[in-house]
Amino acid sequence: MAALLIVSAAALGSVALIMLLTALLARRLGRVAVVDVAWGLGFVVVAAVCAVVGLGSDRDPVRPWLVLALVSVWGLRLAWHIRRRAVGHGEDPRYEEVLGGTLPEVGLGVAVRKVFAVQGLAVCFVSLPVQVGAVSEVRSWAVVAAGVAIWVVGVVFESVGDAQLAAYRRDPDRPKVMDRGLWHYTRHPNYFGDACVWWGLWLVAGLASGWEAGLATVLAPVAMTYFLVFATGARLLERTMMQREGYPAYAARTSMFLPLPPRRRPGGARRAVA
């Protein structure tokens, strides 16, 4: 327990520093959306801190570095993708809605309270399995293997979905709504992939440490899934997307989160896909 408290305190301190630096950068740029880049990087830093700080504990010598590798691949890819996508764009409308205006209008204090502090605490909470795995022995390598497999599914959905969306945006003859590839089966393959990544990490670092550790940390992937679906993810984005021509019809036939076959017309025939 003492080792876990030390690791958790180190994780909290590192996240607080990251969010402080990100808030200062946001004030300089006038955009709160820079926190999206810090989101993925924050998990990478937490995994690295946990792997190093937990060295003196009675733990498996391999798994913390495996967890660090898994988190790093996901977090660095996500940070790079968001940074590349955000170049040349202004504030994310979702953050303006959360803040009640732009950063210059509401001030840094409001942004810290409503965005940076919230996301920092979310990183600490969602990374609980990583913290537990850094100071625990592996009880089941089969569970670790299952977790890695689910993680792979998640990374594939995220990376392929992002690549397909980028190709769609470059296509001058694109249809009004992106419904190709993975987007034919789910309106948010990237968010679904994110959820798979963290359920996989929960298996690798949480449940593989024993049912007690799994039960104690299961709310972490539950929270991440909630964020992705209801809080700052799909539901919030859909408020804007539903205003676009063709999107309500796409939403009516396509699953919002879980990849599923498109819904059929009342008569039984599938809707045509562009």
The confidence score (pLDDT) of residue 52 equals 93
Number of domains in the chain: 2
In tens digits, the chain (274 residues) has pLDDT values of 788 999 999 999 999 999 999 999 999 999 999 999 999 999 999 999 999 998 866 677 899 999 999 999 999 999 999 888 776 677 788 788 888 888 998 999 999 999 999 999 999 999 999 999 999 999 999 999 999 999 999 999 999 999 999 999 999 888 889 999 999 999 999 999 999 999 999 999 999 999 999 999 999 999 999 989 987 778 878 888 888 888 999 999 999 999 999 987 654 444 433 3
Same domain for 145 and 171, yes or no, is yes
Same domain for 155 and 118, yes or no, is no
Lookup: tokens for 251: 């939403």
Count of C-beta atoms within a 10 Å radius of residue 97: 12
Domain limit, last residue, from 137, 171, 196? 137
Q: Is 268 exposed, middle or buried (0-12, 13-18, 19+ CB in 10 A)?
A: exposed
Containing domain of residue 271, as a range?
138-274
Domain limit, last residue, from 137, 153, 172? 137
Q: Which residues neighbour 61 within 8 Å (Cβ) at sequence distance 6 or greater?
A: none
Same domain for 66 and 126, yes or no, is yes
The confidence score (pLDDT) of residue 39 equals 94
Same domain for 164 and 244, yes or no, is yes
pTM of the model: 0.88
Same domain for 146 and 27, yes or no, is no
Same domain for 150 and 132, yes or no, is no
The confidence score (pLDDT) of residue 88 equals 63
CA distance to 20, 119, 126, 181, 245, per residue, from 167 (Å): 35, 30, 31, 11, 20
d(CA 92, CA 89): 8
Same domain for 270 and 169, yes or no, is yes
Same domain for 44 and 161, yes or no, is no
The confidence score (pLDDT) of residue 85 equals 77
Same domain for 86 and 31, yes or no, is yes
Domain limit, last residue, from 86, 113, 137? 137
**Long-range interactions of 232-238: CB distance < 8 A, separation 24+:** 232/94, 232/98, 233/188, 233/191, 234/187, 234/188, 234/191, 236/94, 236/97, 237/94, 237/188, 238/187
